[in-house]
Amino acid sequence: MAIILDLLEETAATTKAGNDPDFLLIEEIMRYMMVYADAVHHPKEDLIFAELQTHRPDLAEGLDDVPEDHWLIAALGTRLRSDVDAIIAGAAVRREQLIGDIKQYVKRLRSHMHWEEDDLFPRVDKMIAEDPHGIDVGDSLRIKDPVFEPEIESAFRRVMASLQDR
């Protein structure tokens, strides 16, 4: 996801410089983020958080805002995708609005990712280390990523091509 956020930041820089970015790439990125990050990755975290609350409330302290954070990320993503969908459909969207929405989305998601790495994942690692059979998120962990799997879904070929060009 960090690499994909880099692509979004590059489109914001292109747009700020007065050039038109690849709007279809932005649309594909946001579709990916909504299909995978919002619909798969964050619900997995919500399940893990629920497991922490149930089985290790001591490790869940201070995490009550996780679902709200996921909602905020999804709302920012929806707003950005709406901007791009409108542009592709021929509607006028101010360049500053698109740049601002990209920056706000990327900043919020990067902050969330740093929190995961620094706080959530160590808590989960501790719970698993102390009781390897105590966490059960079932089949939700088997859902494949449509971009970073050996078989890339055709709907995300533009994203993958952009990543390979890096």
Contact indicator for 5, 106 with CB cutoff of 8 Å: yes
- Count of domains forming the chain: 1
Give the mean pLDDT of 46-59: 82
The pLDDT score that the predictor gives to residue 109 is 93
pLDDT in tens, 69-125: 888 998 999 999 999 999 999 999 999 999 999 999 999 999 999 988 998 888 888
Percent of the chain with pLDDT strictly greater than 90: 27
| Burial of 131 per CB tally in 10 Å (0-12, 13-18, 19+) | exposed
Say yes or no to pLDDT of 140 above 60: no
Say yes or no to pLDDT of 51 above 90: no
User: What is the 3-state secondary structure of the chain?
Assistant: CHHHHHHHHHHHHHHHCCCCCCHHHHHHHHHHHHHHHHHHHHHHHHHHHHHHHHHCHHHHCCCCCHHHHHHHHHHHHHHHHHHHHHHHCCCCCCHHHHHHHHHHHHHHHHHHHHHHHHHHHHHHHHHHHHCCCCCCCHHHHHCCCCCCCCCCCHHHHHHHHHHHCC
Say yes or no to pLDDT of 32 above 70: yes
- Look over the chain and give the mean of its residue pLDDT values, rounded to a whole number: 81
Domain range for residue 17?
2-164
